[in-house]
Amino acid sequence: MPSFKYVRLYAGSDGESHFEDVEVLLTDSGRGTDVSMEIDAESINFAEFREDYLLDQHRAPRRRFVVLLAGLLEIEVSDGEVRVLGPGTVLLADDTTGVGHRSRAAGADQRLAMFVQLPV
């Protein structure tokens, strides 16, 4: 069965932030596409991360998907795991509690993202 994968960044019961790979099943729409169930969203906005972008330990300001459109971002969760996210990566920033994570610009290319804010 076809699927789509995204990365979830969340706070565990231990208060530490962690990564989780999430697989979403897709079903035949009957129109030549396989699609997932809909997810409600409140708003979207776009961001450019400058080369000096560096945020020390912080939590996600709210639940939102971060869709990386161009460039690279490095995310370090408080359990020590580090991932470099590239174009096409979808991250669910869901660590609105707990210790949080660090993030910084990586690579020399322009870094662009779309934020999709989820209902509270």
Domain range list for the chain: 3-26+41-117
How far out from the chain centre does Cα 34 lie?
22
Q: What percent of the chain shows pLDDT beyond 70?
A: 100
Q: What confidence tens digit (pLDDT) does each residue in 68-110 have?
A: 999 999 999 999 999 999 999 999 999 999 999 999 999 999 9
Q: What is the largest CA-CA distance in the chain?
A: 46
Instruction: Report, as an integer, the average pLDDT of 24-46.
Output: 97
pTM confidence score? 0.93
Q: Which of 49, 54, 50 is nearest to 75 (CA)?
A: 54
Residue 1 has pLDDT above 90, yes or no: no
| Range 3-26+41-117: architecture per CATH | Sandwich (2.60)
Whether 9 contacts 60, CB under 8 Å: yes
